[in-house]
Structure 1
Amino acid sequence: MKTILIPVTTNFFSRNFLRTDAYGQLRASGAYIVLLVPPRRLAYYRSEFSASHTRIEAMPDVRTWIEDVFLFVETASIHSRTEEMLQFTELYRRGARRAVLVRYAVFVVRRACWVLGRFSWWRMLVRRAYFLIPHSAAVAVLTHYRPDLVFAPAMIGGDYPFLKEAKRQGIKTAGMVLSWDNLFSKTLLRVHPDRLLVHTEYLKDQAVNLGDFPARGIEITGVPQYDRYFQRKSTVSRERFITALGGDPAKKLILYAFSGKSGIGIEFEVVKILHEIIKGGELGEDVEVLLRPYPRYDFPEEKLERMRRDYGFLAAPAVAHIGDGKDDWEFDGASADFLHATLAHADVVFTMYSTFFIEAAIFDKPILAVAFDGLKKRDYWNSAARFFEWEHLARLMRFKAMDVITDREEMARAIRTALKNPEAHAGGRSEIVRDQCGYTDGRAGERVAASLTRMLN
């Protein structure tokens, strides 16, 4: 029986792999699967995902100062507009805790790396230098389990020690890019696995051009976590879903999907403006609003309750919380079902820079993009407008699939239009799906499992 070792280095792994057909198909192939998970989540993973031919063990701490240095150099060397903007944003960000001189010193080093990152020789030098430094904890893991294949399901920091040592020992390696934006700002593909799985042709181009990965070693699979949407799996009824949240299913539902930490202050102000628009009768009809936090920055129950009380909006946690730590969250089955129902029953989707642009397009829902600064004017590096210069978002703009909101009046007008004419921009939404999903047959998970099985056999 062949063994595949998988380090779990992101909370999105359960949604993107274990709760898709990829995990079931890989088990059915006869492979022996070893999942290495953070110790604090070991009990949860064993209770949720234990199965025959699957072993779930605690992952050793692979973070070292050397790993931190290479992570810094790697990300700073990504020669993309997104990374360049992130460097300037970090320098000029309001509320930054670092002293001004420290911020400028870090900025200068990052800018030097970014300039050098345009040259292939520099990128190769970073990878080569990293490869030459052994990682004892990863060596010990591979010596103990003796896998036939190491699969890095995210291609981010914690994956690389295992990939590096596997390649040094002649063990087969595979990796999968986590998300649509990662190659613009999170990884230079510090270690090249034998095979790289990507969701789309667009990600393949990024892997070749930014990550220097040979095109012949890349396989396009589609997006496993979207399979359930394309398979049109049934979800709870609209009446049951909205009633359970305390809302009226007869009213149209506006979903506001928070995007993350970078724009959170603006988004709270936009939510307040949305409340004022509705309260002032500017939409011409009464609606329900559902607030959905970003998973990594899910809101505590007291904050959700305060927004319910202050605005009369519906609100619910995005994920399950399995501990008290900042990263102790997981996409359990109920969270995945709730997300599916949210997308199925929303009539309009608001977001700023999240994957809800793609998910709303899959469900052919009108999309409203938040590109203004809420209640007060902000400088460019702290504004909402800057997000739409990130490459992955700028690409979406070419499809004319959404209304981009630049002020309060346009916000009210765009909501009214979306509610009355949801078919507008439908062609653009189809283009987003074609461009950002790769396949729409609901079999991405199968393709991931088939690719890994071929490598094992």
Structure 2
Amino acid sequence: MSRPNVPNFKTVFITCARGIIARNILATDALAKLLERDVRVVILAPEGRADALRQEYGGERVFIEPVPAPPESGKDRILWVLATNLLPTKTRRVQRLAKFERDCNRFDYWLSGFTAFLGRFRPVRTLFRAASMRLATAGSYGALFDRWKPDLLFATDVYAPEDVSLMRFARRRGVRVLGMVRSWDNVTSKTLLQYIPEDLVVNAERVRDEIIRYGDMPAERIAIVGIPHYDHYTNTVERTPREEFLRRLGLDPTKKTILFTPPADRYLQGDPVAPIILDALADLPAQVLVRMPVVGKSDFAGKAPPANAVFDAPANSADFVDVHLDRAADRHLADSLAASDLVITWASTMIIDAAVFNKPIILVGFDASPRPYGRSIRQYYDYEHQRHIIDTGGVRLVQKPEELRAWVRRYLTDPREDEAARQVIIREHCYRLDGRAGERLAERIATALDPR
């Protein structure tokens, strides 16, 4: 692809290593607002997804470039393992413990714990970043940078290997980097922040505080923008009328509706808790909309749904790189939340989604059968971001089917219970639901393009 000759237009590279970025950024007002300026956008996508993104988002000043996968030599894998173990968070401690219970590798458990201890000291973290900058294999991006001569790299997921490799290359080419923390759990559950960009955007104050503490990011270089795709969630004009939406799915609009999102097998294997949930709900005065995972599968042990349940299966992917959640699919998710009276889920982002719609939230905290901690759903509720959510009182973590039934009845009777605590979740994880998050993000990108 040749570089279009558009004089006086600045060029922004936007990474899209994870399919969900298309929903989070490209399908929001952020891209449209950015294009109101004298800007050319080049979306950097995995080779297997470039054509689909070109069809959906390509335009006069929006170009899609396929980007090769980042280098993965033995040296690079070692650096990534070190970056993971240097992150000294409670979540990583839980992950190490769960791994030890699964593989019983005492040496690995001890070594990773000692590495995490070293990661508590800022000079160690600084030394690692400097060493990895020199030692990591450089990505094959030279032709791409030569062709487009970007003025800014907007790295939409500073913890993704693809983005880390591109940020390092941009540094070598003298290209300014604006980074973004993609999700609320990333800072405490992924790796040490391996590259500190010139500027960073986050969705809320809590993530800002975490990236300062664990990522050594200077506070004055961080901007809080909110969550752009929620701009469309809160726009009531975009919602399908409840009666129309439920009838389309074969549900009765006159009945109370429970949205149930079961855990996927990529997190819990060989323990089909979903059928137990449906059995517990079978004789309650409500119908159940079961939304299947977009990544991975959910195990129903071959059991047919009860009479009061309808299964809704969005497009499914094996991993987060290939996940496809286009505008129509995201609108369907928002309509599902808006039409429901309460949400039953587990340790997932669906918690925040439900809070945005002010729906009562019940978290499944039990397994289908007794399991060791390292294979149990219990481990995920000890992650820092989940523990904080539970501590707000805006969700109810249930430990057995009888407790689940009791809270369903209670919330169906009084859906405003815990409403104030749900507002705390929104304030701490969404910043503002004012319909302007996309606009704020576009403004921050424009500022990074011209940082005078």
Output aligned runs, 1:7-86, within 5 Å: 7-65=15-73, 66-86=75-95
* Displacement of 1:335: 0.8
* Displacement of 1:143: 2.8
The aligned amino acid for 2:395 is: M
1:371 matched residue in structure 2 = 365
Contact 2:293 2:313 in 1 (8 A): no
* Displacement of 1:151: 0.9
| Alpha-carbon distance between aligned partners in 2 of 1:377 and 1:443, rounded to the nearest angstrom | 46
The aligned amino acid for 2:329 is: S
Output aligned runs, 1:163-242, within 5 Å: 163-242=167-246
Q: Is it true that 1:353 corresponds to 2:355 in the alignment?
A: no
Q: Is it true that 1:386 corresponds to 2:400 in the alignment?
A: no
Contact 2:20 2:320 in 1 (8 A): no
1:148 matched residue in structure 2 = 151
Tell me the SS of whatever aligns to 1:318. Answer: coil
Contact 2:337 2:357 in 1 (8 A): yes
Contact 2:18 2:320 in 1 (8 A): no
* Displacement of 1:325: 8.4
* Displacement of 1:245: 1.6
Tell me the SS of whatever aligns to 2:250. Answer: coil
The aligned amino acid for 2:118 is: L
1:315 matched residue in structure 2 = 311
The aligned amino acid for 2:121 is: F
* Distance change in 2, residues 1:179/1:266 (3 Å): farther
Tell me the SS of whatever aligns to 1:296. Answer: coil
If the length of structure 2 is used for normalisation, what is the TM-score?
A: 0.91
Contact 2:192 2:214 in 1 (8 A): yes
Contact 2:279 2:306 in 1 (8 A): no
Contact 2:343 2:360 in 1 (8 A): yes
The aligned amino acid for 1:313 is: A
Tell me the SS of whatever aligns to 1:268. Answer: coil
Deviations 1:25-84 (A, max 9, x none): 112212111111111112111110111111111112213224322222112211101011
| Alpha-carbon distance between aligned partners in 1 of 2:320 and 2:155, rounded to the nearest angstrom | 23
| Alpha-carbon distance between aligned partners in 1 of 2:229 and 2:255, rounded to the nearest angstrom | 29
If the length of structure 1 is used for normalisation, what is the TM-score?
A: 0.90
| Alpha-carbon distance between aligned partners in 2 of 1:136 and 1:211, rounded to the nearest angstrom | 23
Contact 2:200 2:223 in 1 (8 A): yes
Identify the structure with the greater helix proportion.
1
Tell me the SS of whatever aligns to 2:215. Answer: coil
2:276 matched residue in structure 1 = 273
2:332 matched residue in structure 1 = 338
* Displacement of 1:365: 0.8
* Distance change in 2, residues 1:88/1:372 (3 Å): same
Alignment partner for residue 87 of structure 1, among 73, 96, 99? Answer: 96
1:138 matched residue in structure 2 = 141
* Displacement of 1:261: 4.2
* Displacement of 1:266: 8.0
1:426 matched residue in structure 2 = 419
Tell me the SS of whatever aligns to 2:254. Answer: coil
* Displacement of 1:260: 4.2
Deviations 1:385-404 (A, max 9, x none): 32222111111122211222
Deviations 1:139-182 (A, max 9, x none): 44323321111110011221011111211222111000000000
2:161 matched residue in structure 1 = 157
Deviations 1:91-139 (A, max 9, x none): 223xxxxxx57x4444343223212111112211221111113504134
| Alpha-carbon distance between aligned partners in 1 of 2:385 and 2:336, rounded to the nearest angstrom | 24
Alignment RMSD (CA, Å) = 2.3
* Displacement of 1:439: 1.4
* Distance change in 2, residues 1:233/1:455 (3 Å): same
Tell me the SS of whatever aligns to 1:131. Answer: helix
Deviations 1:212-257 (A, max 9, x none): 1111111111111211123334311222212222222222111112
Alignment coverage as a number of residue pairs: 439
* 107-116 vs 338-347, which moves further: 107-116
| Alpha-carbon distance between aligned partners in 1 of 2:449 and 2:90, rounded to the nearest angstrom | 38
| Alpha-carbon distance between aligned partners in 2 of 1:185 and 1:407, rounded to the nearest angstrom | 27
Alignment partner for residue 405 of structure 1, among 398, 401, 412? Answer: 398
Contact 1:258 1:354 in 2 (8 A): no
| Alpha-carbon distance between aligned partners in 2 of 1:320 and 1:24, rounded to the nearest angstrom | 28
